[in-house]
């Protein structure tokens, strides 16, 4: 999956032919394990971004697209609005990139960001000052009629209660996405490989989510379909893998508290606290594919190694992948899935 997604296919923005190729590649990997994958399709509003043009006091600065920002050209004085957010004239916006060291493509505060907006690197955000004069040109096109898909492979157990194991397969503008998230998809397939030939007290659903990078659309669609069928109570747990091949810390994003405590105990038992700085987060705000599950009251977690400098950049390549980090993340994911198969955590609601 690492080589196929990030090298053979490369950039795979949601709703594009490349994303469809990636979905079929994941389906083939599931089929090779003896599973019967299916596609869960959904429509979406596409967005085609060109590189923003940003000039500050006559100097060209690097800028990353804000996905779904409206196009336009604005010019005027820079004003700091809040930490990491700046106005350009009356309508434009500059935002500090939330991760990495580059000016990266990222979502804004909502699915459609009204003013022309671009991201600047953390270093450039530090040197922005009130009164500087900036010119920002945003060229983005909204594209109707696009479709994307989740790839689902189910493994029946002794009951219809289900634990979901997930990872997203799409990448960002100009990003080959080896770490984010070919590593997670590779991890998903490895988890499936270790569990597929065994009997389990509950069922499993292995899901590769589409359109994560534009607001978790694939996982939201999956959860919405579960809700529509009145089957939310049937999904008893979820484990998500995202960016597991490089990063400064091992991050465990969990909800509710009981699942977080179980994840911490499992990580200690595996010796991960001896090898990593472990960061835990409880709540329903993190931008990974476990979030729609947690918001629906389903005990859910994401496993990541994060942050890393090349995030969302063209430099996010297979040369960065640390196999030891991947192996540890997969071991933790398998242990957490097995734990929820045997003894699910009580729902948050």
On whether both 6 and 33 belong to a single domain, the answer is yes
Span 272-291, average pLDDT: 92
Please tell me the predicted confidence (pLDDT) of residue 220: 97
On whether both 210 and 338 belong to a single domain, the answer is yes
Give me the percent of the chain exceeding a pLDDT of 90.
95
Last residue of a domain, one of 113, 138, 163: 138
Please tell me the predicted confidence (pLDDT) of residue 283: 75
pLDDT-based confidence at 22, cuts 50/70/90? very high
| Residue-range definition of the domain harbouring residue 167 | 2-46+145-342
How many structural domains compose the chain? 2
Average pLDDT value for the chain: 96
On whether both 21 and 7 belong to a single domain, the answer is yes
Last residue of a domain, one of 75, 107, 138: 138
On whether both 125 and 262 belong to a single domain, the answer is no
Q: Of how many residues is the chain composed?
A: 349
127-148 pLDDT, tens digit per residue, is 999 999 999 999 999 999 999 9
Please tell me the predicted confidence (pLDDT) of residue 108: 80
pTM of this prediction exceeds 0.85: yes
Span 221-246, average pLDDT: 98
Span 73-99, average pLDDT: 97
Given a cut of 80, whether residue 105 has pLDDT beyond it is yes
Last residue of a domain, one of 106, 138, 170: 138
Please tell me the predicted confidence (pLDDT) of residue 11: 98
Span 95-109, average pLDDT: 92
């Amino acid at each position: 999956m690492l080589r196929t997604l990030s090298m053979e296919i490369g950039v795979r923005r949601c709703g594009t032919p490349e994303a469809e190729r990636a979905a079929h590649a994941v389906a083939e990997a599931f089929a090779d394990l003896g599973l019967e994958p299916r596609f869960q399709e959904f429509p979406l509003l596409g967005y085609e971004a060109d590189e923003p043009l940003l000039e500050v006091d006559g100097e060209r600065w690097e800028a990353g697209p804000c996905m779904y920002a409206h196009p336009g050209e604005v010019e005027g004085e820079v004003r700091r609005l809040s930490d990491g957010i700046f106005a350009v004239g009356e309508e434009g916006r500059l935002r500090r990139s939330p991760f990495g060291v580059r000016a990266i493509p990222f979502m804004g505060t909502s699915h459609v960001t009204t003013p022309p907006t671009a991201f600047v690197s953390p270093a450039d955000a530090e040197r922005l000052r009130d009164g500087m004069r900036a010119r920002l040109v945003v060229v983005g096109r909204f594209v109707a009629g696009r479709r994307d898909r989740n790839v689902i492979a189910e493994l029946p157990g002794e009951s219809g209660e289900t634990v979901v194991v997930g990872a997203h397969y799409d990448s960002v503008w100009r990003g080959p996405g080896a770490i984010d998230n070919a590593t997670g998809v590779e991890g998903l397939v490895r988890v499936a490989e270790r569990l597929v030939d065994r009997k389990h007290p509950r069922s499993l659903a292995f899901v590769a989510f589409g359109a994560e990078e534009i607001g978790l659309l694939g996982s939201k669609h999956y959860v919405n379909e579960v809700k529509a069928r009145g089957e939310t109570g049937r999904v008893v747990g979820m484990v998500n893998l995202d960016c597991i091949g490089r990063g400064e810390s091992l991050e465990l994003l969990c909800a509710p508290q009981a699942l977080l405590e179980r994840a911490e105990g499992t990580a200690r038992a595996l010796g991960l606290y001896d090898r990593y700085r472990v960061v835990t987060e409880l709540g329903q705000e993190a931008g990974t594919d476990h979030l729609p599950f947690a918001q629906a009251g389903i005990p859910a977690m994401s496993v990541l190694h994060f942050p890393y400098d090349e995030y969302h950049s063209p430099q996010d390549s297979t040369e960065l992948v640390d196999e030891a980090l991947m192996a540890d993340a997969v071991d933790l994911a398998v242990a957490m899935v097995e734990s929820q198969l045997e003894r699910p955590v009580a729902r948050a609601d």
